Chain A
Amino acid sequence: MIHHTIRRVMLRRPQATETPAAIETLAALPAEAATEPGLQIAPTDPIVPYFQSAPGAVELRQLELDSPALEQMRAQGITMVVPLVTQGELIGLLNLGPRLSDQEYSPDDRRLLESLAAQVAPAVKVGQLVREQEVEVRARERLEQELEVARLIQQNFLPKQLPELPGWRVAAYYRPARTVGGDFYDFIELPGGLIGLVVGDVTDKGVPAAMVMAATRSVLRAAAQRLLEPGTVLQRINETLCSEIPPNMFVTCLYGVLDPATGLLRYANAGHNLPIVQSGGDVSELRATGMPLGLMPGMSYEEKEATLAPGSSVLLYSDGLTEAHDPDREMFGTGRVRERLAAGRVADELISDLLAQLDRFTGSDSEQEDDITLVALHRSGGDSEMVPVLEFSLASAEGNEREAMLRVGEVAAASGMAPARLERLKTAVAEATMNAMEHGNGFDADLAVDIAVARSDASLRVRITDHGGGREIPSAETPDLEAKLEGTQSPRGWGLFLISNMVDEVHTESDGHRHTLELVTHLKGDGETDEPDPA
Chain B
Amino acid sequence: MSQTPLEATPRHTDAGTTIALSGDIDGGARDTLDAAYAAVAGDDPVLLDFTNVGYINSTGIALIVGVLARARAQARPVSACGLSEHYREIFEITRLSDFMTILADGPLPAADRNGGAR
Binding site for B on A (CB under 8 A): 398-399, 401-403, 405-406, 420, 423-424, 427, 430-431, 434, 479, 481, 484-487, 490-495, 497-498, 501, 532, 535
Judged by a CB distance under 8 angstroms, whether B53 is at the interface is: no
Asked, given contacts A402-B3, A491-B65, whether A481 binds B98 with beta carbons under 8 Å apart, the answer is: yes
User: Can you spell out 25 A-B residue pairs with CB atoms less than 8 angstroms apart?
Assistant: A398-B27, A402-B55, A405-B1, A420-B89, A423-B85, A427-B86, A431-B57, A481-B94, A481-B99, A484-B65, A484-B69, A485-B65, A485-B99, A491-B65, A492-B58, A492-B59, A492-B62, A493-B62, A494-B62, A495-B58, A498-B58, A498-B93, A532-B89, A535-B89, A535-B93
- Considering the chains assembled together, what is the distance between the CA atoms of A405 and B65 in angstroms? 24
Asked if A434 and B57 sit within 8 Å, CB to CB, the answer is yes
Asked if A532 and B85 sit within 8 Å, CB to CB, the answer is yes
Q: Sorted from nearest, which 9 A-B pairs have the closest CB atoms?
A: A423-B86, A494-B58, A491-B65, A491-B62, A495-B58, A492-B62, A406-B1, A402-B1, A485-B69
B86 proximity list for chain A (CB < 8 A): 420, 423-424, 427
B61 proximity list for chain A (CB < 8 A): 494, 498
Nearest CB in chain A to that of B71: its residue:
A485
Asked if A498 and B99 sit within 8 Å, CB to CB, the answer is no
Interface of A is mostly: helix
Interface residues of B in 13-41 (CB under 8 A from A): 27
Q: How near does chain A come to B32, taking the closest CB pair, in angstroms?
A: 16
The one of A420, A434, A481, A532 that contacts B95, using a Cβ cutoff of 8 Å: A481
Nearest CB in chain A to that of B92: its residue:
A535
Q: How near does chain B come to A498, taking the closest CB pair, in angstroms?
A: 6
| A-B contacts at CB below 8 angstroms, number | 70
Asked if B90 and A427 sit within 8 Å, CB to CB, the answer is yes
Judged by a CB distance under 8 angstroms, whether B80 is at the interface is: no
Judged by a CB distance under 8 angstroms, whether B66 is at the interface is: yes
The one of A406, A420, A481 that contacts B96, using a Cβ cutoff of 8 Å: A481
- Considering the chains assembled together, what is the distance between the CA atoms of A219 and B41 in angstroms? 89
Interface residues of B in 71-118 (CB under 8 A from A): 72, 84-86, 89-90, 92-96, 98-99
Asked, given contacts A431-B57, A486-B69, whether A498 binds B1 with beta carbons under 8 Å apart, the answer is: no
The one of B1, B85, B92 that contacts A420, using a Cβ cutoff of 8 Å: B85
The one of A398, A403, A493, A535 that contacts B1, using a Cβ cutoff of 8 Å: A403
Nearest CB in chain B to that of A533: its residue:
B89
Nearest CB in chain A to that of B86: its residue:
A423
- Considering the chains assembled together, what is the distance between the CA atoms of A346 and B117 in angstroms? 59
Q: How near does chain B come to A351, taking the closest CB pair, in angstroms?
A: 36
B57 proximity list for chain A (CB < 8 A): 401, 427, 430-431, 434
Asked if B62 and A498 sit within 8 Å, CB to CB, the answer is no
- Considering the chains assembled together, what is the distance between the CA atoms of A491 and B96 in angstroms? 12
Judged by a CB distance under 8 angstroms, whether B8 is at the interface is: no
